[in-house]
Copies of this chain bind each other. A is one copy, B any other.
Amino acid sequence: MPSAADSLFKALADPTRRAIFERLTRNGEQTVHALTACAGVSQPMVSKHLGALRRARLVRHRHQGRETHYQVRPEALAPLVDWVSHYADFWQNKFDRLEEVLERLEDTHQRSDK
């Protein structure tokens, strides 16, 4: 049973993919062309990476004419945050307060998903 965090970890394990995600996070919606210009790899590779991010639901895409605009889905990070908060229990009681905050965040943002 592959957990929800699985596809996230896999998708973010590649540095190029993480860089794309980070760029989308910082600079907002971008076209494949714009992303390719800074990716350091070929356009087909960028498309592939975007496909992986899409399958992990980390990004959303929108067609407009001949270009495709990609955009981050920040709520998708929730399972990752959840995992970290759960398995960082070594940071014991101090973490209890953190989990409270996280639960509220998930309640607030995960709804837009279903």
Contacts and interface: CB of A to CB of B under 8 A. Distances in A.
A81 to B, nearest CB: 6
Contact of A10 (B13, B77, B104): B13
Interface in A77-114: 77, 80-81, 84, 87-91, 94-95, 97-98, 101-102, 104-105, 108-109
Interface string A51-76: 00000000000000000000010100
Interface of A: 2-3, 5-6, 9-10, 12-13, 15, 18, 21-22, 25, 72, 74, 77, 80-81, 84, 87-91, 94-95, 97-98, 101-102, 104-105, 108-109
21 contacts: A2-B15, A3-B15, A3-B18, A5-B18, A9-B9, A9-B12, A9-B13, A13-B13, A21-B87, A25-B87, A25-B89, A72-B90, A74-B88, A74-B91, A81-B84, A91-B108, A94-B105, A98-B98, A98-B102, A98-B105, A101-B101
Given A5-B18, A97-B101, 11 more contacts: A2-B15, A21-B87, A22-B87, A25-B89, A72-B90, A74-B88, A77-B84, A77-B88, A80-B84, A81-B88, A98-B98
